[in-house]
Amino acid sequence: MTEATTPKHEAARILVEAMPYIRRYYGRTLVVKYGGNAMVDPQLQAAFAQDVVLLKLVGMNPIVVHGGGPQIDQALDRLGKKGTFIQGMRVTDKETMDVVEWVLGGEVQQDIVGLINHAGGKAVGLTGRDGGLIRARKLLMKDMKDPSITHDVGQVGEIEKIDPSVVKALQDDQFIPVISPIGFGDDNESYNINADLVAGKLAEVLKAEKLVLLTNTPGVLDKNGNLLTGLTSKRIDELFEDGTISGGMLPKISSALEAAKSGVNSVHIIDGRVPHALLLEILTDSGVGTMIRSH
């Protein structure tokens, strides 16, 4: 190993590479949707928490919105209750909603808060009820084959309004908000909301610099399985039409595109299975996923 390529020199090179990104995003808001393998693998959990704390320490304002589908399934299994899905959407009756609130707003949220605090940050958990953050209404889901038919999926909501004042207050006090995707309605009923949609809408309302969605894929892939590193709204429309983007990627990409069109500077869909994926995407030249811009 030559003097020029020692680990110390490599570490210095990486820090220098990060400098323009730190300068560019200083004081800016980053909304991160945390889900998939990154949420269940202990090493990836620890790496994610470190990433979030480091971004906060260098002057950025990360906000975490988390999912928790597998954890909800496990809790329902323990109760002997089988999950039912229509068009990929979990049917959420009253009993299931109680489990969703307990798992997302309790167990999962507090695990993430604990990880971030253990890594040296100051995280605070919120649900959509806190500070009137997420007002929602019942989702009436249209049938994919016959739009004249609507499916009742129970206490699943769509976002009516986001009031970000509680999030802004926490950010200003150097806290890292960790948000569970649970909204409340006019009748004070709770609603389970897709975490990608909550992250996207929150990024729009806060005029975030970036929306980052962690997934279990390398990013958006073409039909040959190759990573598409940069996408525009026009190209995404083409990928929808020819069926390249389908299934579980549909709500994720739709949410990403909506955010990009509504003022979020860039949206990143990255591989949460890569340790420190968040830092690699935001603070290095290489990146680890797909970036979407509105134009």
pLDDT at 249: 74
Per-residue pLDDT at 91 exceeds 70? yes
- Within a domain: 274: yes
pLDDT at 199: 95
- Within a domain: 209: yes
- Within a domain: 150: no
- For the chain, what is the mean pLDDT? 89
What value does the mean pLDDT take over residues 46-73?
A: 95
pLDDT at 234: 81
Per-residue pLDDT at 4 exceeds 60? no
- Within a domain: 139: no
CATH code at position 38: 3.40.1160.10
How many CB atoms sit inside 10 A of residue 174's CB?
A: 11
* The one-letter amino acid at 202: L
The model's confidence at residue 295, banded by pLDDT at 50, 70 and 90, is low
Cα-based distances in Å from 47 to 174, 181, 262, 276: 20, 23, 31, 5
**Number of domains composing the chain:** 1
Contact 178, 113 (CB under 8 A): yes
- Within a domain: 271: yes
Its pTM stands at: 0.91
pLDDT at 89: 77
- Within a domain: 58: yes
- Within a domain: 17: no
Query: Cα 245 vs. chain centroid, distance in angstroms?
Result: 18
Name the residue with higher pLDDT: 84 or 56. 56
- Taking only the tens place, the pLDDT of each residue in 251-275 is 778 888 888 888 898 899 998 999 9
Per-residue pLDDT at 116 exceeds 60? yes
Q: How would you class 129 by CB atoms within 10 Å of its CB: exposed for 0-12, middle for 13-18, buried for 19 or more?
A: middle
The model's confidence at residue 1, banded by pLDDT at 50, 70 and 90, is very low
125 has binding-site annotation? no
The parent domain of residue 120 ranges over 24-82+99-128+164-183+197-293
- Within a domain: 179: yes
How many CB atoms sit inside 10 A of residue 259's CB?
A: 28
83 has binding-site annotation? no
- Taking only the tens place, the pLDDT of each residue in 213-257 is 998 888 888 888 888 888 887 888 888 888 777 766 777 788 888
Question: Which of 286, 289, 277, 271 is closest to 13 using CA atoms?
Answer: 286
Segment among 52-56, 59-63, 166-170, 262-266 with least mean pLDDT: 262-266
106 has binding-site annotation? no
Name the packing angle between helices 195-205 and 249-261 (round to 10°): 10
What value does the mean pLDDT take over residues 18-47?
A: 92
68 has binding-site annotation? yes
- Taking only the tens place, the pLDDT of each residue in 136-179 is 999 988 887 888 889 899 999 999 999 999 999 998 889 999 99
